């Protein structure tokens, strides 16, 4: 086993190329840059249009490589699911987007491995918290009000139903 070299980069899902940031870092290692880029694009295809953290580990002796992909940021996932170009510049007064609670739970499920959340409910509250700073409503409700509803247990059944359905 040769020495491992790890390269981390942020790429656009499904659109990595042999140019920067990957090419200049991988080129000097003598690996097949195109093969690595193709692999990254295959793995990140579902995250099209989102910035995705990737890690490429290269064995400097054998030139073997492995690619691991993180998850896009919660805000990138919220933007995609809400179908808005970006978060609000004035999240306190302008709420351009809206998410169903099911979509919030879907994002929470994707993010839970990267989160300190111990339950889907806690992870969902983190996602709704991101909605607050982005000006995205949840179930057509101001996200600050929605968090209060979650704290009161109003959405617990929806969370349980979602967990048993998946």
What's the whole-number mean pLDDT along residues 127-134?
94
Comparing CA positions, the residue from 166, 143, 24, 23 lying closest to residue 74 is 143
Comparing CA positions, the residue from 46, 77, 53, 86 lying closest to residue 67 is 53
Task: Give the pLDDT band of residue 1 (cuts 50, 70, 90).
Answer: low
Is the Cβ–Cβ distance between 133 and 87 less than 8 Å?
Answer: yes
Whole-number pLDDT of residue 116: 86
What is d(CA 20, CA 10) in angstroms, rounded to the nearest whole number? 10
Answer yes or no: same fold for 4-69 and 74-165. Answer: no
Residue where the block lists tokens 């995705």? 52
Residue range 68-98, pLDDT digits in tens: 988 888 888 999 899 888 888 888 888 889 9
Domain ranges of the chain: 4-69, 74-165
CATH for 4-69 (2.60.40.60, 3.30.1550.10, 3.40.1190.20, 3.30.1490.20): 3.30.1550.10
Task: Give the pLDDT band of residue 166 (cuts 50, 70, 90).
Answer: low
What is d(CA 101, CA 139) in angstroms, rounded to the nearest whole number? 6
Q: Which residues contact 38 (CB under 8 A, 6 or more apart)?
A: none
Spell 17-35 as b/e; 16+ CB within 10 A means b: eeeeebeebbeebebebee
Is the Cβ–Cβ distance between 163 and 121 less than 8 Å?
Answer: no
| Fold classified for 74-165 | Arc Repressor Mutant, subunit A (1.10.10)
Q: Record the pTM.
A: 0.74
């Amino acid at each position: 086993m040769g020495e491992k070299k790890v390269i981390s980069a942020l790429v656009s899902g499904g659109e990595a190329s042999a140019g920067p940031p990957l090419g200049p870092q991988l080129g000097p290692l003598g690996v097949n840059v195109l093969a690595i880029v193709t692999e990254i694009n295959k793995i990140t295809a579902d995250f099209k249009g989102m910035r995705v953290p990737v890690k490429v580990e290269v064995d400097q002796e054998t030139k073997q490589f492995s690619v691991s992909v993180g998850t896009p940021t919660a805000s990138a996932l919220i933007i995609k699911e809400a179908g808005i170009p970006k978060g609000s510049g004035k999240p306190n007064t302008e709420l351009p987007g809206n998410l169903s609670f099911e979509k919030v739970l879907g994002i929470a499920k994707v993010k839970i491995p990267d989160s300190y959340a111990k339950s889907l409910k806690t992870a969902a509250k983190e996602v709704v918290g991101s909605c607050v700073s982005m000006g995205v409503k949840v179930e057509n409700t101001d996200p600050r009000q929605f968090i209060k509803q979650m704290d009161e247990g109003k959405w617990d059944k929806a969370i349980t139903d979602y967990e048993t359905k998946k």
